[in-house]
Amino acid sequence: MHSSVRSHRGRSRSIRTFWGVQLNPLRNTKPGSRGPESPSFSARKGHPIVEVTARRVVEGEIRGHFITNTPVRPWLLDEEYQFSPSGRPFIPPPGQPIMFESTSFTSPIYAKLPLHGTHQLHNLSLSLTVISTLIAHPPARSALRQSDLSDHSRNGSILDPPVVLVDGAHNAASAETLASYISELVGRLNPGSKLHITYVLALSCSPPKTPFDTLSPILSGHGSQNSVTKVRIATLRFTPPDDMPWVTSVPPTEIRDTVRHLIRLGDEDVWTAPNDLPVNCQLQRALEWTEAGHAEHDEGKLVVVTGSLYLVADFYRLLEVLRGPSIPCPDPSLAIAD
């Protein structure tokens, strides 16, 4: 038996746009990249043709086992939670109560897990389906040794003040997921409360995807004058990844202009990284600007670092630096002309 477990998950619209008419060949190729008798798991899909094509290739051409994931169902607990980022100690949102039933287990599994957003239920369904299949079919256990299944949590948060939500949303689909989660948090605010949200944004240049495509789902919901949220924006570049010269940042001024098209903001609510500020200092400067603005308000404050996985990487690198000896970034205003 070929030891290989493969999962198929939905692709973002930007990826589908990139592949265009090559979607069918892609779906023919990926399921066929494992050997005979291999288990192949299918998760929730945006296009029916994905499952149809994968099933045909797995069952008809490579004689594998095509398994559709068993859904995880949420269940309600009598638990009150109000989101208060200014509360000390900060209390993060409670986990999602879930139930999972499988013939591999003698009774349903009930758990409360720190997986926020409905998209995490789809990821969890796939993972639990793989586990229950391995339990029910012992020969498949060896597949774990070469498994390429990986489901990491999308939303990370740093719980020391200020509250920072870190999310790698970099296309319309993932931006919609992030917007939904933020909306859920806003809905859990104390009655009469307001929330000051600062979005720290960097985007990669990857046509035909545009900054509008990615930012519209996140920012459009803040356009109401009666909104309980007050929004500020910082735009910057991320550190270019090594040995990937084709990965470039969208100019911060272009992100700023897109933001202004989506939501009305005063000049004092927008920070744009200067062209002469070193890239490896831009995130730190953006967070310093954010902190200075938050100091003017007593209400709840939330920082959202998003737009690119490369920016997320910058954030965690900066976090490690700040935990060590302080190394100040140069101040571009002190630069001396040649």
| Residue pointed to by tokens 């007050």 | 230
Encoded tokens for 257: 């202009």
pLDDT (mean) for 293-321 = 88
Higher pLDDT, 101 or 281: 281
Higher pLDDT, 254 or 104: 254
pLDDT of 148: 41
Q: The pTM is what?
A: 0.64
Burial class (CB in 10 A: 0-12, 13-18, 19+), 294: buried
| CA 143/CA 164 separation, integer angstroms | 38
| CA 214/CA 127 separation, integer angstroms | 28
pLDDT tens digits along 39-66: 555 555 556 677 777 777 777 776 777 7
| CA 44/CA 150 separation, integer angstroms | 16
Higher pLDDT, 237 or 70: 237
Q: Which helix (H) or strand (E) holds 101?
A: none
What's phi and psi for 83, nearest 5 deg? -75, 120
| CA 125/CA 111 separation, integer angstroms | 13
pLDDT (mean) for 209-224 = 88
Q: Output the CA torsion 214→218→222→223 (10° steps).
A: 20
